[in-house]
Structure 1
């Protein structure tokens, strides 16, 4: 049964006859973006802008927005978007309330997420999916009995996947304070049905589990810090003291520094820190290095975020998620190092 999401303490909208949406008001909080509000309320950035007469993505704390949540039964047919001059894939994703990864899955012809051309037609919604939900690929449960959140996951969906309940997941994961807010790459302890079987078969020793827990906790902290800066612009040679702009190595230096880990300033020097790990052994929080000029010299670094994704500062997108399996990054990959343990 459809549940109306109350976004503030005052619900001023009501269901209108003949309309397939529930109206509510939301008061903008510090750090909010239209993309974040759209995703939380089950709508799109474009719909929010139209509903509130906004001509840009600029919003401010205390501003009251009208939000129309799409009805569950609403079906959105396949739609295409024509790339405009100055567009980026991340900007298009925000406009349609989705993610770069979801757009890449819908548009396999995109070989490099950092390069799209004006006039190019992109699919922005597929089949019967809503424009801000995506097909979720099953992910393997690690040996510590945890599930890594994928793009498009919800706590209810994860509960159904592992034949358990949302209440049980909340009891197992007291760090989740809002059941409607989980993030990509987050490790969630699961139990019930197949999850118990997998956990029993893959249980590691108590000592190793404790070490893995400590490392995973620090890795999650690294990703949390990195995600604070998503959308920050790129500036070559940016000062490590700046948080509004970054280059690739000032970004990693800043993120790890906030977690209490000191890194050198350049990507070449950072590649010598920690211990080298193979691509197949990558864990969340590892540093991954690339040669984007194909001249044999490391000149780019990112932070592995799990599930084949990294967070990095790129010239075209600024701080953003990138897929290591894309043809661009896969062919320029050099090495990875682990500095967390």
Structure 2
């Protein structure tokens, strides 16, 4: 189903301000989201809500939205944002009704999404290529699978099916790079945590005796240390040892110690026994929410003395301090897979 903006030729900017603008109306279709419309129309969710006096992000089929496209300097101002002290990339994404992934695509100069500096100018909206665009119909799954369409991204598919990229990666181990999916590819989207937990049951962690847990923990840290300095690659294939993402690193290290872990950080967080921060022991898995959106997206291995060994975006495999303000404030939970 195609959805097309209907343009009016009325110049209203000269009456309301010192520049021209074009007024457009759009009728909401089934499956639309305010974020999707804002992104395609080169504006923000916040601006759409203000223009249409919407109390929330909720919209319904048949609803008519009025949208004014800005031009000139006002457009440039809206499309960029200057980072303020205390800002985070996830906070900026939320403010402008977008996602961290989109901001990273718009700002390739950001090497590490966890580090932005005050005064840095970020592009927060892309430029639409035309005044008419086509929006795909609402996602539909057949037998638990979705066929990738032109323009799809894994994060977009996750959003449509109310799941996460980590969960899709867990359900689709054939996807080695979450940034590369092809048109016509069948992606499993059904099953949710049931499927992930079933995978965990198949590769359940074998009990380890208390007498051997200390030496095994030391062995795990030693295995991890031999990969210090390896580069970071999001979605790295677990078979690779030259590059890692956070969960492929932990998966690899534990597999070399004879312990099987699921692929994603969110799935690994369900393995083993939950322990508190104050009860941490060497070899425990520690989990974080670096986007502050309530979703676990990073994992490391506790190495003792307040340190963890983990694969980070900026430094690759390295040691990090759990007592630093960055990691301590983003800590979610820890699990122990060594009994």
Q: Give the TM bin, normalised by the shorter chain.
A: 0.3 to 0.5
Q: Structure 1 length normalisation: TM-score?
A: 0.42
Larger Rg: 2
